[in-house]
Amino acid sequence: MLLHKTVGEVLRNTMEAFPNNEAYVYPENNVRKTYAEFNHETDELAKAFIGMGIAKGEHIAIWSDNKREWLLSQFASGKMGAVLVTVNTNYQEKELEYLLQQSDSTTLILGEEFKGTSYINIIQKICPELMNSKKGDIQSEKLPQFKRVIVMSENDYPGIYKWSELVEFAEQVTNEELEDRFQSLDPGDVINIQYTSGTTGFPKGVMLTHNNVVNNAQLVGEYIHLTEHDRLCIPVPFFHCFGCVMSTLASVLRGATMVVLKQFEPGLVLQTVQDEKCTALQGVPTMFIAELNHPGFGKFELSSLRTGIMAGSICPIEVMKKVINDMGAREITICYGQTESSPVITQTSTDDLIEKRVSTVGKPHPNVEVKIIDPVTGDEVKDGTPGELCARGYLIMKGYYNNPEATHAAIDHEGWLHTGDIAVMDEDGYIDITGRIKDMVIRGGENIYPREVEEFLYEHPQIQDVQVVGIPDEKYGEELMAWVILKEGASVTEEELRAYCKGKISYHKIPKYIQFTDEYPMTASGKIQKFRLRELSQAHLVK
């Protein structure tokens, strides 16, 4: 049954049920707060936002790694109705300027820096008026809606509020005023705008409602049997749905403890799971690969691990097996979806047969319709036939912010979201994602799905990770190129890899080009950027 609650109501309900449970832990800072304390903190921050003059429906952009202030802002905005606009931590000047303009954000909450990039310098370049502005009264030529900047620190910067200054604004607002705002919110309201990665064209702002994210988080938590006794290690970034829906919101809905890492580092994840006795762990495949291949992996005590989620991109079968067998996360599940679907469409179940759990993305969630269509004709295809996956239901976004044309291109007149992903459904209703429509390689008239080749190469004992892309070819139209990361200390040649393939997969699926590498171009959320790999492949062959 679907819930009809706001994000703020979710936290209040959990506080009433489990006031003394640890709500969140930041082991790097030794900060621990109960649900009663977390609820109070977010009430005060919600009052501060109201005291600053932030109206219901106003857009607040937030730009930092997984700091405590990010977590508080998520649930405070959920209580007073401002729309949280999440900003990719990797953004630079032009990207941030575009987002602030396109989203009509009035407020920016930011960390001071991220991995050597000064966020303060960037916002000062975008908004030079900041240097001479009164706090809260910015008059920007480029950003006409933009009024205020808040930094997650106690350092002084011209025109920018320090975090502690929010206390004064909270003191100006009564509990009754907060309650009036809280009660005015509707679960159908947009509460979050997340910008897609923008691999083609400009990023689009996905508008998600309380109903979208609350119900998706509820189902995700149910599938991994998350309870008030669980401790979920969260190394995935908050700015993505994996962080702020499938991790933080799912935990709060179930009364679980959020054990938060500000940034991903494989050794720190393993140490945290051990020290905090985490029962669940989230991550994209590249994160789990890095953890499994950490030189000290065998020294960590991971016996507390039971469950978690691997998602964010296609999950290699061999990696799933190792997470279950070597890490001991015997109930780990795979999720599939995208930001436009809040994000999860399908998920494996903890009691699925092991073959289904490692080789598929499961079945559609309850209250979600799925169909697989021929992308050319639009007709549904038979079981076992590849086609584009489409989804419909409560989880579909309200649309792209200020972009009706893109919204109509993504969601058809019957309400179906066209994902752009190629999927196959078996006779039992389990779905396998075989790639993106644009990733499919057509070699001499043969359709090749890179994932099939990747899965085969993953079985090679010397290979840690592999990504396959198509590149232009005069004779066949396209050829395959494999980018291979070898395990530490391993040594294998291109010729040996091709010999390994012969007689085991079709000749036309054997990569013509093989390039060894130490890393892949990645998004901040840990997704491999295949479009960049294609660009690098072509540049490499031109040399």
- The CATH H-level superfamily of 440-542 is ANL, C-terminal domain (3.30.300.30)
| DSSP letters for 315-342 | PPHHHHHHHHHTS--TT-EEEEE-GGGS
What are the start and end residues of each CATH 3.30.300.30 domain in the chain?
440-542
Return d(Cα 383, Cα 204) in angstroms, integer. Answer: 33
Task: Give the H or E element holding residue 536.
Answer: helix 530-542
| Phi, psi dihedrals of residue 514, rounded to the nearest 5° | -130, 130
Return d(Cα 220, Cα 281) in angstroms, integer. Answer: 13
Per-residue pLDDT of the chain (543 residues; tens, 9 = 90+): 899 999 999 999 999 999 999 999 999 999 999 999 999 999 999 999 999 999 999 999 999 999 999 999 999 999 999 999 999 998 889 889 999 999 999 999 999 999 999 999 999 999 999 999 999 999 999 999 999 999 999 999 999 999 999 999 999 999 999 999 999 999 999 999 999 865 446 789 999 999 999 999 999 999 999 999 999 999 999 999 999 999 999 999 999 999 999 999 999 999 999 999 999 999 998 899 999 999 999 999 999 999 999 997 778 888 999 999 999 999 999 999 999 999 999 999 999 998 899 889 999 999 999 999 998 899 999 999 999 999 999 999 999 999 999 999 999 999 999 999 999 999 999 999 988 887 878 787 777 878 889 989 999 999 999 999 999 888 888 899 999 999 999 999 999 999 999 988 888 899 999 999 999 998 877 888 888 999 999 888 876
Half-sphere exposure of 175 (CA within 13 A, CB side): 2
Kindly give, in sequence order, each residue whose CB lies less than 8 Å from that of residue 299, ignoring residues fewer than 6 positions away.
none
Report the predicted TM-score, pTM, of the whole model to 2 decimal places. 0.87
Q: Which residue pairs from 433-439 have beta carbons closer than 8 angstroms and sit at least 24 positions apart in sequence?
A: 433/314, 433/336, 433/361, 433/389, 434/386, 435/314, 436/530, 437/375, 437/388, 439/469, 439/470, 439/530
CATH architecture type of domain 35-205 = 3-Layer(aba) Sandwich (3.40)
Pairing of strands 431-436, 441-443: unpaired
What are the start and end residues of each CATH 3.40.50.980 domain in the chain?
35-205
Q: Do 464 and 485 meet the contact criterion of CB atoms below 8 Å apart?
A: yes
Q: In whole angstroms, how far apart are CA 458 and each of 276, 303, 407, 441?
A: 32, 26, 37, 19
Q: Which tokens is 245 given?
A: 């829906």
Q: Which of 423, 434, 437, 439 is nearest to 533 (CA)?
A: 439
Q: Which tokens is 420 given?
A: 């752009």
